[in-house]
Structure 1
Amino acid sequence: MPHRNAPLTETGRLRLARCVVEDGWPLRRAAERFQVSPTTAQRWADRYRQSGEAGMADRTSRPRHCPRRTPSRTERRIIKVRVLRRWGPARIAHLLHLVPSTVHRVLTRYNLARLTQLDRATGRVIRRYERDRPGELVHVDIKKLGNIPNGGGHKVLGRAAGRRNRTMAGYSYLHTAVDDHSRLAYSEIHTDEKKETATNFWKRAHLFFTQAGITVERVLTDNGSCYRSHDWRAALAAAGIAHKRTRPYRPQTNGKVERFNRTLLDEWAYARPYRSESERQAAFPTWLHTYNHHRGHTALGGQPPASRVPNLTGQYT
């Protein structure tokens, strides 16, 4: 297909060639008439003599021979290592004594899936999904996070002073519920992950989603003891909500909330050097509001989760 500034289309090339070959026009006259160089006019006239009207079509610019292309045997070795070990281009290149860019080109040439799209345990492509409406599925999980000692850790005081100030600060547990369709998140920070704490958290999360106009139909959790308790099952059953658990050792099934956990670590928990755990926890509500109402989400076309929940209050505050 000719580019937008090309002076000749296939029809124009054919007219030029016929003027030269059949009507006997001089090359310079034909070139001036069709506003091209005499060399170009000569090329299309020669093509017309050789192939006729079919010769006016574009031809591929790909070379007929690639003497420096990676040998087929090497390509097979690259693919074998990728399939069996699921390594990236850099590690494969080091093993086979190649250049990483060469390995990357081979993997791209054979359309091998990126490692981020694979289940590392089985090598199968991860099947991604999104529910059709808010509330059809809500992902629930707990993230364990080490507390910051008073005065700050190594990011504030440096390595040596940070080690001296390192005391038994304990842990915090972030209980989170994320709607599959909208990615709307409700999260609280607690001191434990007991069944009573998890159950009471869910009751408040359920109220949050209900006030946003979302009817929760199913909840997906891992196989933690708090999610296998009678209290948890009773709370879901009382609201008419189905409970589904992930298969053991497959956290990617609960990937929406796992991705949220990674985001909060990058953008809140480790985003700046806090001087105490209370200072970090005080910044959490503001960050969570920004995530729900203002932070663009790539899976939502750059829009925040609130854009998929019309009844959510405080969207533009």
Structure 2
Amino acid sequence: MTEEQKQAVAVFRYGVIADFVGATRLDRGEREALLREKCARKWQIPHSGRTRISRSTITRWIQRYTGYGRRLESLYPQDRTDCGSVRAIDEETGLALQELRRQLPKMPVPELTRILHERWLVSSDRSVSQSTVYRFLHQHNLMTEQPAAAADRRKFEAELPNDLWQSDVMHGPHVTVGNKQRKSYLIAFIDDHSRLIPHAAFYPSEALAPFMEAFQSALGKRGIPRKLYVDNGSAFRSRQLEYTCAALGIALIHAKPYQPQGKGKIERFFRTVRTQFLPGFTGQTLEQINGAFERWLEQTYHQRRHSSTGQSPLQRFTAHMHCLRAAPHNLTDSFRKTARRRVNKDRSVVLDKRLFEAPVDLIGKRVELLYHEQSPEQVEVRFSGQSYGNLRPIDLQVNSRVKRDRNGQVELVGEARSDGGTPVEKAITQSGELWEDA
């Protein structure tokens, strides 16, 4: 399994156990009920054909995460030790049997077993017995057709500020961006408990980059939430958002498709924007609409009494300041993009058509490069979870004057002179780095 696949599995596992390892303490009854709920659910597990998670597995993930300093790396999957062992139903056959059962939900098991073999859905030349099919269908709750139950929807509210944020995107008016007329998009976050808006602004796009910019602004202003509830758009399903949330200890929750009822608070805020802010806006540019919107947000919306809570959003949010988690000083590090490259024999690494020089110890190794799109010249290099500092842009002219002595030491000799005196470029080091001797 590649490093990227292990990272995706670890992010998924953190999403499963986030309710147990967060700041909110659960009593024994709540913990048991939550465990039963998660064991009963069907999951889309990355790089696995299984859809269920057992109680012991969830408990083991919690113990590993809390026992190893709450690091995301503790949830990385271990390499399998039973490769090559024979099983009654392998993954491929199991997936085929599940699909066949969905197509024929009332078919008796003997007939189902016969069709499984007739259609050559059993891997290799092995046969599967009826008792094995019985056990498999029981294990995956596929023996009886379950009637569709009415959805149990309930009005809810987070207990404390920053327990839960909701986020979504609203299509805004056309504004001038540069010299062109473009459609604007309002990217907003709302605190479920207080209805305060940690951050909201109009952007010329609803893609991942502006959403992550808005998310970082919200975290810098109002601290770190415990959960983030979002839709199923491409930006909300990105690996970068999943990794950022997991690295900051935020449980990322996605709404069920075609069921917008769970995002009622953010949708209600958008309706307020449409009926109370947009009709009075008279500007034309993106800067003008954001300036007017920020004034309306701070002077009107946050100060006005909310009909559901009986308090203003700002008053209710600040009533429990002791519960808030402040953003870390290295918040921007969690928003960096990740690229993977192999270091060439001449120590060079190419990233976005830029040429960098890596340490000698990393020659031939596949490394991770972390950087911001806004400052691509600052690139941190990591290997096996260890940071090797920032890469240095290659200076071809300096490298052309590098010579080595018989001991493998590097000596750089140049012709530059200072104050009409002697040469000033001369450096010797064991690691190949170049230092200027004053």
TM-score (norm 2): 0.36
Relative contact order: is structure 1 or structure 2 higher (C-alpha 8 Å, sep ≥ 6)? 1
As a proportion of its length, which structure holds more strand?
2
User: Which structure: greater helix fraction?
Assistant: 1
TM-score of the pair, normalised by structure 1: 0.49
